[in-house]
Structure 1
Amino acid sequence: MTAFNVIPKVSKQPYHDAILARLPSEWGPWPDDPTSVNHDAALSTFIKRSQKKSFAWPKKPVVFISDPHADAEAFEASLIAAGVIERDDSHLCAYKLTKFGKNAEIVVGGDCLDKGPSNLTMLRSLAHLYRLKADITLLAGNHDLRLLMGLLSLERETDAGSQHLFVRMGKKVIPLFKEVFDQYLANTQWDKGLPSEEACRQALFPGDDWFENFPFYAAGFLTPEGIEREISKMTSKTQSFEAHCAKNGLSLSQVYAAAMKCRSLFLKNSGEFGWFFRQMQLVKKRGSFLFLHAGLDDHMAELLANHSVKHANKAFKKNLMSQNLFSFYYGSLANTFRTKYRKADLPLTQYGAKIARQAGIQVLVHGHINQHFGQRVTLKNGLIHIEADITLDTHSRKNEGLDGYGIGVTLIDKKRGVIGLSCDYPKAKVFKPNHKGKLVGANLNEV
């Protein structure tokens, strides 16, 4: 299957054929239906603005895959569907780049961790892209940064703003600790010099007065809805965290030991995954498209307009190293990988959307929102969004009534437009406006 040719072709590789058989065999102009657009004006606005001289497409093709959530099979199948890699057999982490893969930009939209089936295999698959010297950008996702915040909270002086960040990771992080314990610690003297079970509990959980103090600590920083949401989340998570650990066969001492091992694996330059957070960026801009995990708010739009994407990424890295985890995780930078435009999130108003457009940002391309019918074009206060997360990992799909692992990739190219390719939608969605502002296309090979 050639890059951007969305009609599957028979290959001599049975594994590839099995993937292609799950993909659409035909295409259509991006449909104006509720599963593909969220607003009557969304598609027409996209068409209209893409005709303006100021609208710029990326110079190189961009392949966007988001939210693999610890499912390397789904991740690699999506790369194969895009024509970026090829595999000789069914073994993971052993693929090679195609000619197209060597010339395209690959943007991984974040949330590589949690859910399953294997965090470590997913990380090793992603590491293989770096070994192949692919042109890859790794964006920060909320699940990824939640792990970092939890690990950092174990070494820093904590207050009401950050002492809950470990347990806040919740049950979805426990499989990672189980994997780490089994692969790195199980056959060692892992408990030598370790604190007692009760001491481990005190190190991992927020203090008894956290629920009383947090609303006052966060007042004026979080919205009232945001504070209420945090209290509600933490009430549930503190009550269930230890039980979820036990369900996975882990004591709190073993969780603590696995967390300390994760600190070595992820936070030390020499750790197997020491590259993961070092490589991470907050945003990437190509042409009029801004790639990120979740979305913008007014303050972030102003930062991008008054400074630059490079400045935003530097600020992101600098804040990761700051001592105040609270101000980072609940601030505007982190809102970029956390927002779902709820009342609890920092707002994107018409003003912020206008500022973003004035900064040359016409389209946001992001994941973070589960999709069951492929990609979607949305309009939020006049700012175009392409929602690209089509729910890839096996565990989420099973819980949401979808079969197997997901396959989904969003392809953006100045010659071919935007192609939304998903195993969850019967046709490839193609956005390729002509000079009259109409969606066009004939044979998919021409797209």
Structure 2
Amino acid sequence: MAVQTGRAARSHPMLPPVFDDAGELAALPRNLERWPVHEDHSGGNAGAVRDSLIAAASHGTWTWPEKPVVFISDPHADADGFLRSLVSAGAVRRLNDGFVLTPFGRMAKIIVGGDCLDKGPSNLDMLNALNRLFDLGADVRLLAGNHDLRLRLAIRALTLPKAPLTEHLFVRMGRKILPLLAEINTRYVTPEDLACLPEEAECQERIFPSSSWKATFPAAAGPYLTPLGIEKELKKLKKKAKQFAKQADAEGLTMREVYAASLRCRDLFLSPDGAYSWFYSAMDVVEQIGSIVFLHAGIDDTMCALLAKDGPAAVNTRYRLEAEDDPFAFYSGPVANLVRTKYRPVDGQLTASGVALLHQAGIKMIVQGHVNNHKGQRILAKNGLLHLEGDITLDRTSRRLEGLTGIGAGATLIFPSGDVVGLSSDYPRVKHFKPEHHL
């Protein structure tokens, strides 16, 4: 496998060498352009970006990482998309029987921005590829995504006694984890497991909320959700219950098999000695490096205050404590908002006061996943705070549904020099951001 050494690659030493992936890696751009924040596909509001940069600059200069950072987010159970992205960043070289770290990969910090699970083609292959990266000794930081937490909350809720705040959560979260449950059913569920379960009708009763749930949920959810949020949850559950049954049928799963696979998931992921227990054990919700905070979705004023006052360790500690507590209270609260917000009215709110707290603490930009894009990364100001959207639609399922061809590849690279690079197989040039270029 030869190093790509074209003229553009040599003229820009900030770009790590890209190793040809046995001829299968899509041709990736090597020519840089100034990040086109004025274009919708790359931001869409240069004026707002400039205003955010000016506001942040009033509290000091940028602090950059001491070593290169590679940010890859939302692989969504597509190990090939994930590995090709690592190749595109120059972090790994693929071999016939796996992959190895390159010299650049050994010196860089690799941040996986969440949503490793769901969609497909294979959740377990994706997890095995991620685990291999840890085993190789890479400096990896794994962040939680909303799809990752769906599995955790769904299987926990299924094993709790029926209660208004939790009995709907498996169906509420579970449709998108059904491809994983199908994999678990094939690889791990035995005839003996099924023989220990009740009949189909009782398994279905355990999976779906009781007939009284719709009447009891609003009062129970009052302390956690606004009236608008409660109304939305009721409507969403009705729709999701139909989708769940339809998707289970599409995956070829009976309700007994769904239930058996969920119990097996609990053992594999949540038991201390489970084969995939490392996945949630390694997971945090934020990483701060200098002036940049990495997370999955976004932030609200509550988390701005905690992050600015006590730092990322306090946020991650709160995440670990609350994730083990009441599932509904956790998912409805400001910590889980970090992995699911899209800055909608029903989400936790980010206001000028929260942005000011971050700027005063020296935080100038959020790097996130969660919002997938079709022409590479975007940089834009959200509520006055600079955000880089790094989800470039890697997985084949999303790409097929959204009209993109092939397997996605790309990464966001941030260098000690203050250069930010957006690389994507779906955009013809490498986007290059340097804050002073946009002031």
Report if TM-score (shorter chain) is over 0.5. Answer: yes
The answer to whether the 8 A contact 2:286-2:293 is kept is yes
Asked if 1:79 is matched to 2:81, the reply is no
Q: CA deviation at 1:14?
A: 5.3
Instruction: Name the CA shift for 1:52/1:325 in 2 (closer, same or farther; >3 Å).
Output: closer
Q: CA deviation at 1:158?
A: 3.9
Give 1:212's aligned residue. Answer: 215
Counterpart-to-counterpart distance in 2, 1:207 and 1:5: 61
Matched position secondary structure for 1:185: coil
Counterpart-to-counterpart distance in 2, 1:102 and 1:115: 30
The answer to whether the 8 A contact 2:64-2:418 is kept is no
Q: Deviations over 1:298-345 (max 9, x none)?
A: 1111111222210110111111221x2111110000000010001111
Counterpart-to-counterpart distance in 2, 1:360 and 1:51: 10
1:29 corresponds, among 23, 31, 34, to: 34
Give 1:331's aligned residue. Answer: 333
1:101 corresponds, among 100, 105, 128, to: 105
TM-score (structure 1 length as normaliser): 0.91
Q: Deviations over 1:338-381 (max 9, x none)?
A: 10001111111111111122222210000000101110011112
Matched position secondary structure for 1:148: helix
2:95 corresponds, among 80, 85, 88, to: 88
The answer to whether the 8 A contact 2:412-2:421 is kept is yes
Counterpart-to-counterpart distance in 2, 1:118 and 1:227: 34
Q: How does 1:144-159 map to 2 (within 5 A)?
A: 144-159=148-163
Q: Deviations over 1:384-421 (max 9, x none)?
A: 00011011100001000000111121111121510000
Q: CA deviation at 1:259?
A: 0.5
Give 2:168's aligned residue. Answer: 164
Matched position secondary structure for 1:272: coil
Q: CA deviation at 1:382?
A: 1.3
Matched position secondary structure for 1:411: strand
User: Taking every aligned residue pair, what percent have the same amino acid on both sides?
Assistant: 44
| Residue identity matched to 1:87 | R
The answer to whether the 8 A contact 2:18-2:90 is kept is no
Q: How does 1:257-268 map to 2 (within 5 A)?
A: 257-268=260-271
Give 1:117's aligned residue. Answer: 121
The answer to whether the 8 A contact 1:8-1:23 is kept is no
Instruction: Name the CA shift for 1:232/1:358 in 2 (closer, same or farther; >3 Å).
Output: same
Matched position secondary structure for 1:63: strand
Give 1:425's aligned residue. Answer: 427
Give 2:394's aligned residue. Answer: 392
The answer to whether the 8 A contact 1:147-1:173 is kept is yes
Asked if 1:307 is matched to 2:310, the reply is yes
The answer to whether the 8 A contact 2:52-2:385 is kept is no
| Residue identity matched to 1:24 | P
Matched position secondary structure for 2:63: coil
Q: Deviations over 1:53-111 (max 9, x none)?
A: 4321111111100000000000000000001100123x5xx111111111110000000
TM-score (structure 2 length as normaliser): 0.93
Q: CA deviation at 1:217?
A: 1.9
Give 1:61's aligned residue. Answer: 68
| Residue identity matched to 1:143 | H
Matched position secondary structure for 1:189: helix
| Residue identity matched to 2:24 | A
Instruction: Name the CA shift for 1:221/1:235 in 2 (closer, same or farther; >3 Å).
Output: same
Counterpart-to-counterpart distance in 2, 1:415 and 1:7: 12
The answer to whether the 8 A contact 1:114-1:172 is kept is yes
Give 1:444's aligned residue. Answer: none
Q: How does 1:203-282 map to 2 (within 5 A)?
A: 203-282=206-285
Counterpart-to-counterpart distance in 2, 1:315 and 1:175: 30
Counterpart-to-counterpart distance in 2, 1:247 and 1:104: 41
Counterpart-to-counterpart distance in 1, 2:57 and 2:420: 11
The answer to whether the 8 A contact 2:59-2:362 is kept is no
The answer to whether the 8 A contact 2:85-2:409 is kept is yes
Q: CA deviation at 1:7?
A: 7.1
| Residue identity matched to 1:345 | D
Q: Deviations over 1:143-167 (max 9, x none)?
A: 0001100111122234211111111
Counterpart-to-counterpart distance in 1, 2:223 and 2:50: 39
2:347 corresponds, among 341, 345, 348, to: 345
Q: Deviations over 1:3-50 (max 9, x none)?
A: 985879786x552x432x431131101013121113232442465446
Matched position secondary structure for 1:35: helix
Counterpart-to-counterpart distance in 1, 2:430 and 2:14: 7
Counterpart-to-counterpart distance in 1, 2:159 and 2:297: 28
The answer to whether the 8 A contact 1:6-1:428 is kept is no
| Residue identity matched to 2:362 | G
Q: CA deviation at 1:225?
A: 3.0
1:413 corresponds, among 405, 412, 415, to: 415
Q: Cα RMSD (Å) of the superposition?
A: 2.1
Give 2:145's aligned residue. Answer: 141
**How many correspondences in the alignment?**
429
| Residue identity matched to 1:130 | F
Matched position secondary structure for 1:41: helix
Q: List gaps (5 residues or longer) in structure 1.
A: 441-447
Give 2:50's aligned residue. Answer: 44
Matched position secondary structure for 1:201: helix
Give 1:362's aligned residue. Answer: 364
